Chains A and B, each alone.
Chain A
């Protein structure tokens, strides 16, 4: 039972344009959501998070949007840069202490020059 789904295994975007990565979840108990970025041969690194009491959180070029009614979140990267090429995972937790993070399968983002 995949509670967090990233339906696009890969995404290709031109440098300077907007990258939009999507994530859907099924568990209505999830109240905290995170995005992680992963380069090859490295562990995931935290990127940005959002609590269910918000619908948007912004950090520089990265913005996460949460639509609770649709059980959907998205990560916007503007403008996209070559260094953004990586695998992006969304994750969710049923409490902010996140003793159990549930991850999606990941989306491989490629930024083309």
Chain B
């Protein structure tokens, strides 16, 4: 157990809909990262928040947005969903920026029908 929690575990929805994925980092961790893993693909970095502020962006679609709240939990919002958005979405947290200290949650599996 990494200490990072993600809800929900599974999400099934239809095209055109909007969903929110939630991540609670480990206690004391200020950084939250979001990654997408599509079928047979590696993890794709989406976005990084540090203490409530956006710090880095990857190839995140404009239909996707994220935020980190004062209690440090983070939400990833996916809107106008398409079939291709079906993937595993992981969040990771770290107390600082060091890569070996990124702790991953178990992921949310999103299925868009």
Contact = CB atoms under 8 A, between A and B. Distances in A.
Contact of A103 (B2, B44, B56, B100): B44
A103 B33 CA distance: 14
Interface string A1-26: 00010100100000000000000000
B106 A34 contact: no
B43 A44 contact: yes
Contact of A99 (B35, B44, B48, B107): B48
A98 B99 contact: yes
A2 to B, nearest CB: 8
Contact of B55 (A4, A36, A99): A99
28 contacts: A4-B42, A6-B42, A34-B99, A42-B106, A43-B2, A43-B4, A43-B105, A43-B106, A43-B107, A44-B90, A45-B103, A46-B99, A46-B103, A91-B42, A93-B99, A97-B97, A97-B98, A97-B99, A98-B97, A99-B97, A100-B48, A101-B43, A102-B42, A102-B45, A103-B35, A103-B45, A104-B42, A105-B40
Interface of B: 2, 4, 33, 35, 40-45, 48, 55-56, 58, 90, 92, 97-107
